[in-house]
Structure 1
């Protein structure tokens, strides 16, 4: 009688599989960082292409400001708004700056929605060479939209009789808008990582939007304001972006030493206003850097 052969059980390896992980480092190579940033920026523009209402509204709103406020003050006495020949010429600088400011203030909303829908978590666990590409992509996207809006406003202002600055003046406008947008985008992205949800972020945007507009020289010169509001407007970063651009519209022979604003404590030159905006952008970036490092860790 032949014995029954019992098949041997396969040997089971109880050791867990080792999953290889690509280390994520903030010290990424330039090539990898640029590639990731461009890919994430492309994603934002694809979203804009599918839902262009944000860009359309961002162009229509400043045009309405120019048309309605220009018509409202078209019979204002000459000299009421400084050297401007018309209120449209005076208002153009304020509309350019406030439109860029409002767009940059909303920069944190896409990141906040990514947080709430879980897409940001997928990015944070992805093998990115540098997670700061997420922030860089958002900044590039907002800067591009701000430049598009600024071009439309400058063209519309020219049609309404405000004129167009020379080539050097247009370059200075681009630099001023860039510095303001970078600073406000940094603060908005910081809020997107700090606040619990989009409701709170929208509340902050609503609370700060109009007060900063009226506490600046966007709608009226400093000399038109009471003393306390002059002091507040002189501390507002928007005023340091508005007044140089307004000076460019009125003077073709501008220079860095040209006085663009008479603050309660000193005369602000064109170069001084640009330095204030540069310091504002740098301070905002330095302020959010530790926060982003903790969130990305």
Structure 2
């Protein structure tokens, strides 16, 4: 892309990213809801299963430890899935057209700025959830474990942000996009291991959950939370098709990001070319 590595490109990307944070500052309710909602999930679901039989979620794993990874992932996923909504409103209100006719070094900065903003928000939410989980007795991973969690969340967010932005440019209006988000949001969560282990599921759902990118993010985070002696070769998911290691889960998420970008490349190119 012309200008992609130029100073002008990164200046305009920073300016467009700053615009999203200015909007957030003017409407802080969005941020507050994004932080309070996962805390409610953590508190309510954690309380609901606090009297579950010992060993139900692992010999040394409490449900709070089990749930923490799921809350981290589906909170980040929810924000990424909605990433295209404000871009679509920009399109409907005409602001996007003004950007497209501006002398930008590269129109890719429009997409990149949105991705930076969504990843930043997801990491802030992750930090809040990790802190709340620690207070509620779930413990906290070491520094390297936290760094790996950050990488996992970032990859998942980038993949779903790409899909959401692609849909924002492809959908005729915000009503259609919101309807589609509503359609796929909960099915993806409940067909993952966010709230229940793979062993609880019927055979067909085990296959679906083991191929779900949310599961590929949840299980390594959960393993890091519950195993201080983790290694890259540690098996974090015993799927019907075989074992998935910690390193393998990161590769799976990288593949997911690549597939997501490839799927939306056409719709983005029509607008940004």
TM-score of the pair, normalised by structure 1: 0.90
Task: For 2:14 and 2:260, locate their aligned partners in 1 and report how far apart those are by CA, in whole Å.
Answer: 23
The Cα offsets for residues 182-233 of structure 1, whole Å up to 9 and x where unpaired, read as: 0000000000000001001111111111111100000000001111111110
| Superposition deviation, residue 286 in structure 1 | 2.4
Answer yes or no: is the 8 Å Cα contact 2:167–2:264 preserved in 1: no
Deviant stretches of 4+, over 4 Å: none
CA distance in 1, matches of 2:90, 2:78: 20
Deviates more, 1:281-290 or 1:145-154: 281-290
Q: 1:26/1:292 Cα in 2 relative to 1: closer, same or farther (>3 Å)?
A: farther
1:62 equivalenced with 2:38 (yes/no): yes
1:105 corresponds in structure 2 to 81
Match of 2:224 among 237, 243, 248: 248
Which of 181, 184, 188 is equivalent to 1:212?
188
C-alpha root-mean-square deviation of aligned residues, in Å?
1.0
Partner deviation per Cα, 1:97-151 (whole Å, 9 max, x = no partner): 0000000000001100000100000000111110000000000000000000000
Deviation at 1:277, TM superposition (A): 0.3
Residue ranges of structure 1 left out of the alignment (5+ in a row): 1-24
* Equivalent residue number for residue 246 of structure 2: 270
The residue aligned with 1:14 is none
Aligned counterparts, 1:90-169, within 5 A: 90-169=66-145
Given the superposition, is the C-alpha separation of residues 100 and 84 from structure 1 closer, same or farther in structure 2, using an over 3 Å criterion? Answer: farther
Q: Unaligned regions of 5+ residues in structure 2, if any?
A: none
Change (3 A) 1:187 1:84: farther
**CA displacement at 1:29 relative to structure 2:** 4.3
Please tell me whether residue 198 in structure 1 is matched to residue 166 in structure 2: no
| TM-score where L is the length of structure 2 | 0.98
Aligned counterparts of 2:210 and 2:272: Cα–Cα separation in 1: 36
Higher helix residue share: 2
Q: How many residues align?
A: 273
**C-alpha separation in 1, matches of 2:190 and 2:240:** 18
Map 1:2-13; keep pairs closer than 5 Å.
Answer: none
- Name the CA distance, whole Å, in 1 between partners of 2:263 and 2:9: 22
Alpha-carbon offset, residue 78 of structure 1: 1.1
